Amino acid sequence: MATDGKPSFGKKNKKTHIICRRCGRVTMHKTRKICAACGFGDTAKLRKYNWQTKAKITTKKRK
């Protein structure tokens, strides 16, 4: 009988992500051929969202 506990974690040794040609990070999915960081392989535009960067504080709020 197979368990879902600690013995199952010993099987987690497959590489799912490789180095991306566009951004150079280890975020390119091997089977899907899509980069999780920059979106290479899926779109020509760079993957970017507003929630990735903190909102810039205006000078009025700083004072």
Q: How far apart are CA 10 and CA 36, in angstroms?
A: 25
Q: What is the pLDDT of residues 35-60, one digit of tens each?
A: 999 999 999 999 999 999 988 877 66
Q: What is the pLDDT of residue 56?
A: 82
Has domain 15-63 been given CATH number 2.20.25.30?
yes
Token pair in block for residue 2: 């197979």
C-alpha distance across the termini of the chain, in Å: 65
Domain range annotation of the chain: 15-63
> Using 50, 70 and 90 to split pLDDT, how confident is the model at 1?
low
Q: What is the pLDDT of residue 51?
A: 92
Does 15 score more than 90 pLDDT?
yes
Q: What is the pLDDT of residue 34?
A: 98
Percent of the chain scoring above 70 in pLDDT: 89
Token pair in block for residue 49: 């969202």
What stretches of the chain adopt beta strand conformation (E)?
A: 17-18, 28-29
